[in-house]
Structure 1
Amino acid sequence: MGNDKIVTLEDRMPSLKEQRKRKANRRLLFFLVMFFLLLLVIVYFQSPLSQIRTIEVQGSYIASEEEIIEASGLKQGDHIWNLNAEEIEASIQTLPEIKGATIDRQLPSTVVLHIEEHPRVAYLFKQDKFYPMMANGLFLNELERQEYPSDAPIIMGLDEGELLTEFAAELSLLPEQISERISQVFYNGGDNEPNEITLYMTDGIEVRSFIHNFSEWMVPYPSIAQEIDREQNGVLHMKMSPYFEQFDLEEDVEIEGEG
């Protein structure tokens, strides 16, 4: 046999060279892409593009955007990646209206502050003014003269203190279907019942209950209210064992006539 019939492996497999070449090209392309990406990142961090241009506030209804941004300490021109999120969130939560806050960076230069506020659970009526009260027991500035609250119960006769703070917490625990049916709350506690209250409901029922465990006592109210005849004059006692106390109007009239 002659040497002229001997062929190399690469001659017998001509595609092997091409495969090795393509593999080398892909490797080179990968390193080039990584190099340019790294270069872009360096340029971005060193350029004004990485500075805050816009600060947005979402979820605030009671506190103003200006108050929240000022409390955060954020300013346009700050580096968007050089932020202490935990410190900023804690600073925002020093505002009495704010329950929680989180920071969201949106490239290239926007910071969004997501706000969760304490719910407004009632209004304290004092000296002919309405003071919004939140679930944490804190108060906001009084409403404008022309404003009349309709989105939460109005509390009368109860001074600021432990009972009012406790009642605010109890109101915050109520299901919305119950709290939205409370129109007015009058404090009529005495020596025997220091935390007794009277509620006037939007469905026309007068309710007596206690501040202590109020949210627990009121849970069955919707089902009980359905069974009460609106033509009856009386008071629904929402306590450990709810009952309806009916007033005898005829007897009341006779007593008045005798006087």
Structure 2
Amino acid sequence: MAQKKVVSIEDRIPKLKQARKKKANRRLLFYLSIFFILISVVVYLQSPLSYIRTIQVAGNSFLNDDEVVKQADLVKNENIWTIDTEVTESKLKDSPIIASAKVIRKLPWTVSITIDEYELVGYKQQETTYFPVLGNGTTLQSMGKNTYNGDAPLIKGFNKEAYLHRMTNELEKLPETIRKLISEVHWTPEKENKDKIMLYMNDGFVVDARIPNFAESMDIYPSIVSQLDEESEGIIHIGVGAYFESFKEGKKASSVAEEDREE
């Protein structure tokens, strides 16, 4: 029968001491690391290292970077941790040009601002100056220009802000491909129909429509035009019904596109 090897307590003590020492060193190293991290954080927060050095701006078109930063009420050399991002975003959205905003910190000293501006939907002409009009009805009086490049329709006759806002809201809902077909939008209110509008299209047609649900009604326009002769000239009526009225023949023709929509 094999004899078991007996290890004396004296032999085990040095190994136990060594193991305990390693464990104690690891614990000490852990606590020292935590301590130095905390010290570093405190030093960072209290030193110029945590001051804003860079402010990045993205998504702006009508406003330049400096105007966005001013609207956000941010300044360099301000502690980055004193910024309330939600308050800053709220300040940005107070601008009639900014639809939404996102502000984030990028450590150690950068603040990033990303905005979404209201879309350009048209221009208002005053004498020889053209002023951009946004989807929320805001007219940018400080950004008038003397030339018109046709990148958005001319908006005419809207001398009441309420109707202008409703119209621009509908224009913003339009697909860009359809909006680019519009040359001019005229508000032509009647006694029984204050929402009446007339559109002059780049393809030569005239559209008789109403402001309410205009974007939805206008979706059918390309289908109507595709079924007309290239030499046709007249008014396309959209709204409750959709039909074409020729200038030459002076008669109305029901649109097959309307029938397709009803099906």
TM-score bracket, shorter-length normalisation? 0.7 to 0.9
Unpaired runs of 5+ residues, structure 2, are: 252-263
Deviation of the 1:171 alpha carbon: 0.9
Name 2:233's counterpart in structure 1. Answer: 233
Corresponding residue for 1:77? Answer: 77
2:145 pairs with 1:144 = yes
Partner in structure 2 of residue 223 of structure 1: 223
Q: 1:151 and 1:6, CA in 2 relative to 1: closer, same or farther beyond 3 A?
A: same
Does the CA contact (< 8 Å) of 1:205 and 1:230 recur in 2? no
Q: Secondary structure at the match of 1:198?
A: strand
- Please give the alpha-carbon distance, in whole angstroms, between the structure 2 residues aligned to 1:30 and 1:204: 78
The residue aligned with 1:52 is 52
| In structure 2, distance between residues paired with 1:181 and 1:170 | 15
Secondary structure at the aligned position of 2:100 is classed as: strand
Paired with 1:78 and 1:137, the residues of 2 have a C-alpha distance of 36
Q: What RMSD over aligned residues (CA atoms) do the two structures have, in Å?
A: 2.6
Do the aligned partners of residues 224 and 15 (structure 1) sit closer, same or farther apart at CA in structure 2, a change above 3 Å counting?
farther
CA distance in 2 between partners of 1:109 and 1:167 (Å) = 44
- Partners in 1 of 2:21 and 2:61 — Cα distance? 63
> What does residue 254 of structure 1 align with?
none
List alignment gaps of at least 5 residues for structure 1: 252-259
Q: Counterparts of 1:118 and 1:196 in 2: how far apart (Å)? A: 25
Q: In the alignment, is the contact (CA less than 8 A) between 2:204 and 2:233 conserved in 1?
A: no
- CA 1:5–1:182 in 2, change beyond 3 Å: closer, same or farther? closer
SS at match of 2:63: coil
2:97 matched to which residue of 1?
97
Report the CA distance shift for 1:201/1:86 in structure 2 as closer, same or farther (over 3 A).
Answer: same
2:153 matched residue in structure 1: 153
What is the TM-score normalised by the length of structure 2?
A: 0.83
The TM-score normalised by the length of structure 1 is: 0.84
Stretch of structure 1 that moved more, 166-175 or 179-188: 179-188
| Structure 1 position 179, deviation (Å) | 1.5
Q: Amino acid of the residue matched to residue 87 of structure 1?
A: V
Cα pair distance change 1:5/1:139, threshold 3 Å? closer
Report the Cα offset of residue 167 of structure 1. Answer: 0.5
Q: Deviations over 1:210-229 (max 9, x none)?
A: 11221121122222222122
> Is the alpha carbon distance of 1:232 and 1:25 closer, same or farther for their aligned partners in structure 2, counting shifts above 3 Å?
same
Would you say the 8 A contact 1:123–1:155 is kept in 2?
yes
Give the aligned residue type for 1:218: M
Query: Aligned residue for 1:257?
Result: none
Q: Which amino acid aligns with 1:116?
A: D
CA contact (8 A) 2:235 2:244 kept: yes
Query: C-alpha displacement at 1:79, in angstroms?
Result: 0.5
Instruction: State the alpha-carbon separation in 2 of the partners of residues 190 and 170 from structure 1.
Output: 20
Residue by residue, what CA displacement relative to the aligned partner does 1:30-70 show, whole Å, maximum 9, x if unpaired? 22222221121111112110011122221111122222222
- In 1: Cα distance, 2:218 partner to 2:186 partner: 16
Alignment-derived partner of residue 169 in structure 2:
169
Q: Residue 179 of structure 1 corresponds to which residue in structure 2? A: 179
Deviations 1:10-30 (A, max 9, x none): 958x98776655444433322
Q: How many Å separate the matches in 2 of 1:10 and 1:185?
A: 101
Q: CA deviation at 1:204?
A: 3.0
